[in-house]
């Protein structure tokens, strides 16, 4: 019996490792053989990846992009949580803010970009501001929801024991709202990446988005694909980072939810 299970486990692992490898090998051979301009051989792409993106010139493109993303995102999260907490504490404030925020949230990020260019020009500040603007809404909305939805029993416990505001915020309100806030931050992250890329494609002279588009326009196809790969890796890493953070921050939430199901 144990031998069977071990065989199954081995088979499963082989599958999970083998399939991606097989797909890569497939891509390698097909792209090398097919000789299509638009789908260059994988080795060329990888070479371009290594030379253009991992080497020194990379810092000229990758770092500015990441910098703008980081500053914009951090600003949005801080502002969203701060403002959201304030609004979430008052029922009246929530109700009056809701329609405005809901509407602003519905504007797709690309529609806002021309506004940004018109009013703020095409420099770094505009990009950071735009990134912050688009990811503000999900964070804000979710924070308002989370803070407003804190369990009444928890609130009463705070009142009974006379917890001061600072303690209440740090130990009761914000932790209670954190599952919602994290969900909002997750949505915000993907919007931030979108805005980062398109702002660089439309109004920039550096950055990952800019480079990919430029590579396409000057017909350096392997470089274009390498850039796409970079964005893919970036997306993967950021997502993974987020999952790790979420796992740590919300361990209690999973435990408590599991308990409720009992």
Partner 1 sequence: MLGVLSLLEALTRTGVLPASDFPPPSLTLVTLGQQLATAGFWNAVGQTLAGWASGLALAAVLAASLGMVIGASDLAYRAIRVPLEFLRPIPSVALIPLAILLYGTGFTSKLFLVVFASFWPLFVQVLYGMRDIDPLAMDTARSFGLRRLERVRHVILPSTLPYLATGLRISSAVALILAVTAELVIGSPGLGKEIDVARVGGDGRLMYALIVATGVLGWSINAVFSRVERRLLHWHPSQRADGGAR
Partner 2 sequence: MRHHPPLLELVGLGKTFGEGPGATQAIAELTFSVQEGELVSVVGPSGCGKTTMLRCVAGLLAPSSGEVRLRGRTVVGPPPEMAFVFQDYSRSLMPWLSVRDNVELPLRHKSRLSRRERRSLVEDAVSSVGLGRFLDRYPWQLSGGMQQRVAIARALAYQPEILLMDEPFASVDAQARADLEDLVLQVQGAYGVTILFVTHDIDEAVYLSDRVVVLTRPPTTVQETVSVELPRPRDQVSTKELPEFARLRAHVFRGIKRQMEVDQGEGAEGHRARLAGHLEASGSTGTPP
Contacts to partner 1 by CB under 8 A: 12, 15-17, 19-20, 23, 38, 96, 99-100, 102-115, 117-119, 138, 141-142, 145-146, 149, 179-180, 183-184, 186-187, 190, 193-194, 197-198, 201-202, 209, 212-213, 215-217, 221, 224-225, 227-228, 231-232, 235-236, 238-239, 253
Q: Note whether 146 and 88 are within 8 A (CB).
A: yes
Nearer CB in complex with partner 1: 18/165: 18
Reported as type and span, the H/E element at residue 88 is: helix 57-88
Rg from Cα positions in the chain = 24
- Provide the total of helices (H) and of strands (E) in the chain, helices listed first: 12, 0
Q: How does DSSP classify residue 207?
A: S
Q: Note whether 142 and 84 are within 8 A (CB).
A: yes
Nearest approach, Cβ of 38 to partner 1 (angstroms)? 5
Q: Note whether 180 and 142 are within 8 A (CB).
A: yes
Nearer CB in complex with partner 2: 59/167: 167
Q: Note whether 226 and 48 are within 8 A (CB).
A: yes
Q: Which residues contribute to the site for partner 2 (CB under 8 A)?
A: 151-154, 156-157, 159-164, 167, 171-172, 175-176, 178, 252-253, 255-256, 258-259
Nearest approach, Cβ of 189 to partner 2 (angstroms)? 23
Nearer CB in complex with partner 1: 132/196: 196
């Amino acid at each position: 019996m144990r031998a069977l299970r071990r065989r199954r486990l081995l088979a499963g692992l082989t599958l999970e490792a083998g399939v991606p490898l097989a797909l890569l090998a497939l891509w390698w051979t097909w792209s090398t053989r097919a000789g299509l301009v638009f789908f260059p051989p994988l080795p060329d792409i990888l070479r371009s990846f290594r030379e253009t993106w991992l080497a020194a010139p990379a810092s000229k493109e990758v770092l500015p992009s990441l910098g703008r993303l980081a500053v914009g995102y951090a600003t949005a999260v801080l502002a969203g949580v701060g403002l959201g907490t304030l609004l979430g504490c008052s029922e009246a404030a929530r109700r009056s803010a809701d329609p405005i925020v809901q509407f602003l949230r519905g504007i797709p990020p690309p529609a806002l970009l021309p506004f940004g260019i018109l009013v703020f020009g095409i420099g770094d500040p505009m990009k950071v501001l735009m990134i912050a603007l688009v990811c503000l809404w999900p964070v804000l909305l979710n924070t308002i929801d989370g803070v407003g939805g804190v369990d009444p029993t928890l609130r009463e416990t705070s009142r009974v024991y006379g917890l001061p505001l600072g303690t209440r915020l740090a130990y009761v309100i914000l932790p209670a709202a954190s599952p919602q806030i994290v969900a909002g931050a997750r949505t915000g992250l993907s919007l931030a990446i979108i805005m980062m890329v398109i702002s660089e494609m439309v109004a920039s002279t550096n950055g990952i988005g800019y480079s990919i588009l430029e590579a396409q326009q000057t017909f350096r196809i392997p470089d274009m694909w390498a850039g796409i790969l970079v964005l893919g890796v970036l997306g993967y890493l950021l997502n993974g980072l987020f999952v790790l953070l979420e796992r740590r921050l919300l361990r209690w939430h999973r435990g408590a939810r599991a308990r409720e199901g009992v």
